[in-house]
């Protein structure tokens, strides 16, 4: 039996990023076991630690790709704690990353604990805008700020927010999001000219 399990595990690691799926399950599981549900206007928090697997070529601080990976876990946690994920599943819809803007303020050194705070900052009929912050625990410094646009597929915000606390209070579009959307439109227009 063991001689069958080991090759299956090896094949799983070869063909899939098993640790990614384990981390998602762990993050959502911990949230469900130890954290209360929250409203769509609340901030959720997950914790992380910069290990040797997270560092860049200089072996001193977290590499840029790891920031983006960690954001996935925090976003899925936010969706689960607010009830958004449940409503997406019930509507047979999807939420896809449409764009993101990351501003790195200071590196996260190796062997440093941090948290990621996630909050919904604005929404439109088919789009959610989420702000996430990497904050180191030892000094409370915001190391990176990320804004992402989540495109809703086969579901709209009215369906997505049905019966969710805080969904009745629409947030005003932040100034930085307005400018960011203008930048995206300029970029899209340039690409359309070439096509």
Q: What is the DSSP string of 31-70?
A: HHHHS----TTS-EEEEEE--TTTB-TTSSBB-HHHHHHH
Convert the pLDDT of each residue in 126-169 to its tens digit.
999 999 999 999 999 999 999 999 999 999 999 999 899 988 88
Question: Would you list the domain boundaries of the chain?
Answer: 1-30, 40-184
pTM given for the model: 0.91
Q: In degrees, to the nearest 5, what angle opens at C-alpha 42 toward C-alphas 40 and 48? A: 110
Structure tokens belonging to residue 7: 């090759």
Strands 44-49 and 127-136: unpaired
10 Å Cβ neighbour count for 107?
18
In CATH terms, is domain 40-184 a member of 3.10.129.10?
yes
Structure tokens belonging to residue 75: 């976003």
Cα-atom radius of gyration of the chain, to the nearest Å?
Answer: 19
- pLDDT of 101 reads 96
Convert the pLDDT of each residue in 41-61 to its tens digit.
999 999 999 999 999 999 999
- pLDDT of 194 reads 65
> Is residue 2 pLDDT above 80, yes or no?
no
């Amino acid at each position: 039996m063991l001689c069958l399990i080991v090759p299956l595990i090896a094949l799983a690691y070869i063909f899939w990023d098993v640790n990614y799926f384990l981390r998602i399950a762990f993050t959502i599981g911990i949230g469900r076991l130890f954290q209360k549900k929250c409203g769509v206007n609340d901030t959720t928090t997950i914790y992380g630690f910069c290990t040797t697997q997270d560092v860049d070529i200089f072996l001193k601080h977290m590499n840029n790709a790891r920031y983006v990976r960690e954001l996935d876990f925090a976003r899925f946690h936010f969706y689960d704690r607010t009830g958004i994920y449940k409503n997406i599943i019930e509507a047979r819809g999807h939420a896809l990353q449409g764009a993101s803007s990351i501003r790195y303020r200071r590196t996260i050194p190796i062997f440093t604990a941090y948290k990621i705070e996630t909050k919904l900052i604005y929404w439109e009929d088919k789009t959610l805008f989420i702000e996430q912050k990497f904050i180191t625990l030892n000094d409370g410094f915001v190391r990176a700020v990320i804004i992402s646009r989540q495109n809703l597929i086969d579901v709209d915000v009215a369906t997505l927010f049905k019966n969710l606390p805080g969904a009745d209070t629409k947030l005003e579009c932040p100034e930085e999001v307005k400018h960011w959307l203008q930048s995206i439109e300029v970029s899209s227009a340039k690409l359309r000219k070439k096509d």
